[in-house]
Structures are given as C-alpha cells and as structure tokens.
Chains A and B, each alone.
Chain A
C-alpha cells in the first residue's frame, strides 16, 4: 500500500515537473521579448526542477543522499530568481524597451 502510494507520488511529481519544464520551453519560444522570456525561462523552470527533485528525493527514500537533493532544491530556489533578475537588469541597462500590447502590429516580424 505504502509502496504503491510512493510509486504514484513519484509518477505524479515527475509528470508535473515535466509539464512545467515543457511550459517553460514553450514560453521561451512563444513570448515576444527578453523580459517576458526571462519570466518563463527561469521561473516556470524553477517549479519544474523543484518537482523533479522532489520526486528524486522520494524515490531515494530515507537515506543520506536525500539531504543533498533537498539542499539542491533550496539552492535552485535562491539562485534561479537571482539569475532572472540579472538577465532582466542587464537588458534594462542596455536600453531594451519592453514589448507591450501596442507593438503587436509592427512587432510581428520579430
């Protein structure tokens, strides 16, 4: 009973992790500019990686390597937004104007 519960928990977590990573990839392809892409590239990804790591932790069970997985999770959650912020900030400093809905007409070609 416990074993099958654990099995399905792993399956569900991996599935959701894959889903959010997939969304993040789609977002990077579909979104119009660097700011919007930074949103999904690093953030939807954070949850994707987080869920996958949680699945790994459950799969490993109660052993020492699990602690490393949780630590990894923790650091992913600190470093990912920092990276996103660094990208967005350097974009802003190089003077890139954010895409807005008014740009739709002429912005299609990009």
Chain B
C-alpha cells in the first residue's frame, strides 16, 4: 500500500526540496541522516525543511515547554543536517507548524504538511517510521494514507530500529514476560481472596488468571518488563512502604496540631516542583505519595512538572527537600540514582502566588 508513495515521488522525481517532520523519537537522528544522504544522491543542491508540528496551541501556558522542546529539537536537527552535509551545498529551513491551532489526528497533520509543502514547493516528505506527533498514539499507518490523500509524495526512512507497530504485534520474549507477570499477579490475587489449600480454588484460579493475562497483559504493562529489574523494584518497593507510612504519620501529626490550634496558623501556597522521575509508573508513585502525605496535594501533573498545593510551611520545606523523590528514585533506579541534589538545590522549585499559572 505504501509503495505507491515511494514510486511516485521517491525515485522518479529528482527531489531537491525535502520536508522532514520531526518528533522526539529514537530514530529521528537516523531519519535526518537518511534524508540528507538520499537527497544528495539524487541531486547536488538540497533544501531540507525541518518542521515540528505542535498538537497544541503554542501560547497556552501548559504547552510552553512543548514549544521550547520543539525549538530545541529543531536546532539540534539543523546541526545534524550540517554535519551530514559536509561540503555539499545544503540549505536548512526550520519551522514550527500548527502553532495557532489544535492539530487533532493524522488528517490535520497531513493537511498542515500539505499546506506547508505547497507554500515552499516541497517535492518529497521523508517520514520517520516512529513519527509520533504530540502525545497521541502511534499513527504512522494512517498518516501515510492521509499524505496520499493530500497528494504529497513521501519516503519512509529505513532506520535500524524496527518500527513500533512491529514491536507491538509481538516480540516473543517481551510478550511472554508480560503474560508471565500478569498471570502470576492475578493468580496470586485470586488465591489471596480464595483459599490456597483448596484444589477447586487452585484450578479455577489458574483458569481465571489465564484469561486475564491473555486479555489484559498488553494493557497493564505499557512498558517492556525487565526480568532482573522488575522483581528487584518490587522488593525495593517493600522497603519503601514503611518509610512512606512513617512520613504519613509524622506529617499527619504536624497537620493535626495546626488544625486543632485555635489560631490555625496555615499558610497555603501553590508551588511547582520539577521532578526527576520518568513519566508513567514512577511519576504516578511519586505523585500519589506526595498527595498521601498530609500537607501536600498534587493539583496537576504535567509530565515532570508537578503543581503542588501545600498547607503549612514545614510541609512545603519537606517537599522542596525532595525526600520522597529520592525514595522513589531509589525504588525505580537503585541506590546510586537516589543521591541527587534536592529540588531546591537544583532550582526546580517555584512558589506561585494565588494564580494557577
């Protein structure tokens, strides 16, 4: 299906103006390299247009850091092009697209690229197989179809790493790991509720766990499991729980004293803390722990930037000291990674006035 696009533009027409949509993937470097190499094979003069399409409006406060990231990516990619071009004459153009509108789905992206291509006389789009604009799900199949609809010729960069849609369908061991973990988790839970010494529960439990693992394993673990690291993390987490309980009791007492005192010396503030944990499970664990500790309440989690409402100064100081963050880093990344500067020392803290932003 995608071969039509290849033949139409990729090899029949000499491409001297390339459009390369970028996003932050592992293969973006190779894609840029391929675009320059293949372009120079076809003609001596090359004009590479590097674009990042933003799925949000650029001026909204919460997408400002996306915009900053996009600009950084553009300038990096421009350097890569110059690096790969060597002495050949290559012109680099960079642009942010979709800054004044919401792009929603592959159709909008393809339309945006189509408009840009028309404006600048683009001959060929070089697609990163992992291209994933914004935070939406993997969409390569349909963006190819949409590009064809707009009448843009495209070429998919042959990159080393397999594209994600192939990985999803099933790398054998990864798939097995997920099934295995999911099976034992659900079997264990079933037996905790039932009676592990009764044969009927053992048999029905195995059947139920089998059904659950086959149907839900892909949904439960959205990340690849690690055979060594995942069990170690579970053990570390067991160490973390008593520590968290102790923190909860401690700050509960502090809060209780404040609330019961007739003068009620509270000092509510909105703060922002940039954390150093990965999105997903670590961030969830951290945000939940912060909220669980009285006196601090996570209002918004915008990737690594947490908006935290704090009730009393001592809770705020505790948050800025980052004890919980270090503990979470210990759970997920091990002892060495736990020893990082506190958020206060990193300058990752900010007290926001009454305002949300």
Contact = CB atoms under 8 A, between A and B. Distances in A.
Interface stretch (B52-60, B178-186, B224-232, B264-272): B264-272
B259 A23 contact: yes
Q: Which of B264, B289, B292 has the most CB of A within 10 A?
A: B292
Contact of A85 (B252, B298, B356): B298
Contact of A84 (B248, B260, B297, B353): B297
Nearest to B292: A81
Given A35-B309, A44-B255, A100 B269 contact: yes
B120 to A, nearest CB: 39
B137 interface: no
Contacts of B292: 43, 46, 77, 80-81
A49 interface: no
Contacts of B298: 85, 88
B264 A46 contact: no
What does DSSP make chain A's interface, helix, strand, loop or mixed?
helix
A99 B260 CA distance: 19
B356 A92 contact: yes
B297 A44 contact: no
Chain A residues touching B, range? 35 or more
B299 interface: yes
Given A78-B288, A100-B353, A23 B256 contact: yes
A12 interface: no
Given A30-B259, A88-B309, A98 B266 contact: no
B295 A39 contact: yes
Given A23-B260, A31-B266, A44-B256, A39 B355 contact: no
Given A20-B256, A35-B309, A82-B288, A44 B299 contact: no
B197 to A, nearest CB: 11
Interface of A: 19-20, 23, 26-27, 30-33, 35-36, 38-40, 43-44, 46-47, 64, 67-68, 71, 77-78, 80-82, 84-85, 88-89, 91-92, 95, 97-103
